[in-house]
Amino acid sequence: VSPTMVHNLASYPVTIGLLAVATFCATFGSSIYLQRVHGWDRTSALLAGSPGALSQIIMLATERKADVPGIAVVQVMRVIILTSAVPILLALIGMAGHGALPSRGPEATPLVLAVLIAVAVGVALLLRLVNFPASWMFGAMLGSSVLHGGGWVEGTLPQWAYLAALVGIG
């Protein structure tokens, strides 16, 4: 998130609207498919078709006594398709670019990183107080987005932290 991106959001209402409609259709379409074709219960089918972090979906499934193994299989297959099949398909049809990766921008200073950490932890703790699901994840995203989007901080993670985060996510 950057001030420029926040400013340019008004330029993309159709794109953002189409993305919302596509997400809605994919989520509820797959949920209806799992219910009607495979006989899944409503909660399990909705959680299996929901986009998002696997760990969060599994936590919600466990809390709601849903079909955790089935949901995990569907979610893992979705991730495998998105991370392997889509790039291969794009390369096969000539839509994948080649060359160096774009610059991530200048690295944040240690002071900026300290501010980001403090705000992320603070927002996460506030979200935790109101029992917001996945408060640590959303607290960090919300805190960072507001600070970067408001133009109060600037910079990216140092390369070593960026690579460690990518490995951890993978």
Give the distance from CA 15 to its chain's centroid: 18
Q: Which token pair is 152?
A: 């109060």
Task: Please report, as a single letter, which amino acid is at residue 78.
Answer: R
Q: For 58-110, what is each residue's pLDDT tens digit?
A: 888 888 899 999 999 998 888 888 888 888 888 888 876 666 666 778 899 99
CB 44 within 8 A of CB 58: no
Look at residues 128, 120, 129 and name the one whose alpha carbon lies nearest to residue 147: 120
pLDDT at 134 over 90: no
pLDDT at 45 over 80: yes
Q: Measure the CA–CA gap between 58 and 69, rounded to whole angstroms.
A: 9
Q: Is 50 left (phi over 0), alpha (psi -120 to 50) or beta?
A: beta
Q: Measure the CA–CA gap between 103 and 156, rounded to whole angstroms.
A: 10
pLDDT at residue number 130? 95
Q: Measure the CA–CA gap between 170 and 161, rounded to whole angstroms.
A: 14
Q: Measure the CA–CA gap between 12 and 51, rounded to whole angstroms.
A: 22
Helix axes 13-38 and 42-49, enclosed angle (nearest 10): 140
Round the average pLDDT of the chain to a whole number and report it: 87
Q: Which token pair is 89?
A: 């398909």
pLDDT at residue number 80? 85
CB 79 within 8 A of CB 51: no
Q: Measure the CA–CA gap between 117 and 22, rounded to whole angstroms.
A: 34
- The predicted model scores a pTM of 0.56
Confidence of residue 12 (pLDDT cuts 50, 70, 90): confident
pLDDT at 29 over 80: yes
Domain residue spans of the chain: 12-92, 110-169
pLDDT at residue number 123? 96
